[in-house]
Chains A and B, each alone.
Chain A
Amino acid sequence: QVQLQQRGAELLKPSETLSLTCVVDGAYFSSYFWNWIRQPPGKGLEWIGEINHSGITNYNPSLKSRVTLSVDKSRNQVSLKMSSVTVADTGVYYCAKDLIDGEDSWGQGTLVTVSA
């Protein structure tokens, strides 16, 4: 299974910029799209977007104005930046491998708390 590593938790104030990283198993970094998915407390899953090793991206239009996905090939790392966060952005943020080969892999998730 492809390994993905995420940091444990982030605490932000409203209007700040969220920065998350996901370190991907180097053997597979160039093989897949890497997705970002979030889950507010007690709620369902929301797809944020995806990026591949070449920097090709697809975004959820509902978040596109505030989200930027990027890659650092030297570190086998994908990153998410979300500007102007609000309380509604609180939740667990996951990075996950695409399903092109019928196998999934997920990071352990980063708990993001936005509070004044």
Chain B
Amino acid sequence: DIQMTQSPSTLSASVGDRVTITCRASQSISTWLAWYQQKPGKAPNLLIYGASTLKSGVPSRFSGSGSGTEFTLTISSLQPDDLATYHCQQFSSYPYTFGQGTKLEIK
């Protein structure tokens, strides 16, 4: 199985901050990576697929980059609504695997 490692596990930042979350794959997955946002008690919501393609309707302050084994999700200017847990998922090979999640807290 491909192991996905996210860092940090928890992140505390202020409104307006630039925030970066990293996801590392245990082997190359090209750009077969998605990022999700999950708010408490809700299903995850896709933000980015193909490592860097923003899903339609997602605010442009979200962006993704990377290929191979290292990927980043960036929020350019943190908003109060961004309080959530963020997950990465690889789609390169079965079984599809997720990172352990990054909980984003607003200071």
A and B: partners? yes
A103 touches B95 (CB 8 A): no
- B48: nearest residue on chain A (CB-CB)? A102
Are B99 and A44 in contact, with the CB atoms below 8 A?
Answer: yes
Interface residues in A56-78 (C-beta closer than 8 Å to B): 58-62
1/0 per position for B43-83, CB-CB distance to A under 8 A? Answer: 11110011001011000000000000000000000000000
Docked-complex contact B94 and A58, CB < 8 angstroms: yes
A108 at the binding interface (Cβ < 8 Å): yes
**B35 to nearest A CB, angstroms?**
11
The A contact surface, by secondary structure, is loop
Pair A102/B95 contact, Cβ less than 8 Å? no
Interface size on A, residues (CB 8 A): 22
Cβ–Cβ < 8 Å partners of A47 in chain B: 89, 95-98
Q: Is B34 an interface residue (CB 8 A)?
A: yes
> Contact check: which of A61, A106, A109 meets B95 at CB < 8 Å?
A61
Q: List the A side residues contacting B45 at CB < 8 Å.
A: 104, 106
Which of B50, B53, B96, B101 counts the most chain A CB atoms within 10 A?
B96
Given the known interface contacts A99-B49, A103-B55, A107-B43, the answer about A59 and B95 at a Cβ–Cβ threshold of 8 Å is yes
Q: Which residues of B contact A104 (CB under 8 A)?
A: 36, 44-46, 55
Interface: A94 (CB within 8 A): yes
> With an 8 A cutoff between CB atoms, is A10 at the interface?
no
Q: Which residues of B contact A (CB under 8 A)?
A: 1, 34, 36, 43-46, 49-50, 53, 55-56, 87, 89, 91, 94-101
Interface residues of A (CB under 8 A from B): 35, 43-47, 49, 58-62, 94, 96, 99, 102-104, 106-109
